[in-house]
Each structure stands twice: as C-alpha cells, then as structure tokens.
Amino acid sequence: MRELEKWLARVLLLNSGLALAVSLGLLGQAPPARMATFGVALLGFLAALLSLRRHRAGAWGGMLYYLPQVLIFHRFDGGWQFSLQAGVSLGVSLRVAEGVLVVNLLALVLLAVTAVVCYRRARQPATAS
C-alpha cells in the first residue's frame, strides 16, 4: 500500500508542478484563469509534499486538488462556464443542448484512487512513529 501512496504522491507532484508552470505564465494561459489555477496548483503541490511525508492531510488535499477538475463545462453562447484544468487532462466530451460537458477521466481515476487511500488510512489504527 505504501508504494501506491508514493506513486500517487509523485503523480500529484508532477501534475501540480505542471499546473504551477501554467499558472505562472510559463506555458501560456489567459490571465483571468491564472489565479484559480495557481490556487489549485499550490494546493496540489503542498498536498503532494505532505503525502510524500505520509501526512493524512496530503491525501485529503489531493482529493481537493482533483475534485474541481473532474467536470468542465463550456457554454455555446459564451455565458457562464466552469473550467479548471490544472495539470494533465484526458477527457470525454459530451455535447448537451447548452454547451459541451467534458469529463476528465484522468482526474476521475486519480480522485477515486486517492479516495481509496484516504478510506484505508481512516480504517487503520493510529500508530506511534
């Protein structure tokens, strides 16, 4: 189980590092979207560092990092949109009457694996280190 947790923390570190580069303008992104991406990327980066040190808050922070990335919605008329793409994205596009709904499958899988890690950690008895 520890190897899975290490792998998950490393993927989170890579994903959030890429998102930090995007939000700082190194890889190109429109200025209004940078602040939200920066906040989520910083959360993911700190969560990855905590996860590498095996803190419980790291796994919960990873869940908070992946949760807003699962669903992305773009309206056809240019109205209200929800889009937060921080890190690597692999998704499925669904065309609905008002716009396009994108389900980020990579974020969904990583969210599910992180939830399993959190659940298993919660069920383990606390041990003194």
Residue 47 confidence (pLDDT) above 90 = yes
Q: Token pair for residue 128?
A: 């003194």
Residue 6 confidence (pLDDT) above 80 = yes
Q: Token pair for residue 34?
A: 């940078």
d(CA 129, CA 118) in angstroms, rounded, equals 19
Residue 34 confidence (pLDDT) above 70 = no
Which has the higher per-residue pLDDT, 99 or 85? 99
Q: Give the pTM.
A: 0.79
Q: Token pair for residue 12?
A: 């989170």
State the pLDDT at residue 46.
94
